[in-house]
Amino acid sequence: MPDITLTTLVLLCLAAAAAGWIDAVVGGGGLLLLPALLLGLPNVPAAHVLGTNKAVAIVGTSGAAITYVRRAPVRVGLAVRVGLMALAGSMAGAFFAAGISSEVLRPVIMVALLGVAAFVLLRPSFGTAAGDTDARPVTRARIVTAVVLVGGGIGFYDGLFGPGTGTFLVLALTAVLHLDLVTASATAKIVNVCTNAGALAMFAYQGTVLWQLAAVMAVFNLAGGMAGARMALSRGSGFVRAVLLTVVFSLVAKLGYDQWTA
């Protein structure tokens, strides 16, 4: 455990709970959790902050996934197949991460997120039970696309860069598999557990995880994740859509600030 004050520990735990809630609803909890760790642990090497972030996040994501599987119509077998590809992708991304500059990736991700926000705003029926996403059959080709591109591609991105992985998973699964946003969030949680596991395995192997701090924060992240999953299930796709847009614009603002100050 690093030498931090009780006040800092409490604030980190509250941030972990809030991040777990956001991540369970629509993904993007790292938008809050990672900056909180960076601010709370200014003298800790970045690699240890990233490793600790993954150790905390995987607990909340796992709790949310279990809650969703118990209460939502999730195709667990398909989610696991996408997740295993995502695990391999995240480990590959982590392997190449050292040679990639985040300054190059930030503008690309910002443009992609703005495109996503525009699409969701212009398509009010996107990801709703009343929309056309559920009307079309899910073909074998779409399942293969989900496994290879959604799992492998977004998994690789998570290992390489990271911010917004859960949000990208929700959007991609909704578009490719014609899921409503609640079911997409549920499926994304299972996949995200796998991407977190791949990255965490790499960080643990490198010895860059603050396990004691992560264990304390993980309890709060778990509580937030399970609460967020229950709220998403009870309030439906409209609620998830509103949170999705909020997270997307927040992520764009954060990446824009990072790019401006780099």
Q: pLDDT tens, 68-107?
A: 888 877 878 888 889 999 999 988 887 776 555 556 656 7
Which conformational region is residue 74 in: left (phi greater than 0), alpha (psi within -120 to 50 degrees), or beta?
beta
User: For residue 98, how many other CB atoms are within 10 A of its CB?
Assistant: 6
Tokens standing for residue 175 = 């578009």
* CA distance linking residue 141 with residue 158, whole number of Å: 24
Instruction: Give residues with Cβ within 8 angstroms of 42, minimum separation 6.
Output: none
In 3-state terms, the chain is what percent helix, strand and coil (to 5)? 80, 0, 20
Predicted local distance difference test score (pLDDT) of residue 187 = 87
**Could you tell me which of 214, 218, 221, 219 has the C-alpha nearest to residue 17?**
221
pLDDT beneath 70: ranges in the chain: 1, 97-106, 108-110, 112-113, 116, 119-120, 123-138, 161-163, 237, 251, 255, 259, 262
Predicted local distance difference test score (pLDDT) of residue 56 = 94
Predicted local distance difference test score (pLDDT) of residue 243 = 77
Kindly list the distances between the CA atom of residue 158 and the CA atoms of 5, 137, 199, in Å, as whole numbers in the listed order.
Answer: 31, 29, 8
* CA distance linking residue 140 with residue 193, whole number of Å: 24
Rounded to 10 deg, the angle between the 181-205 and 165-177 helix axes is 140
Instruction: Report whether 31 contacts 22 (CB < 8 A).
Output: yes
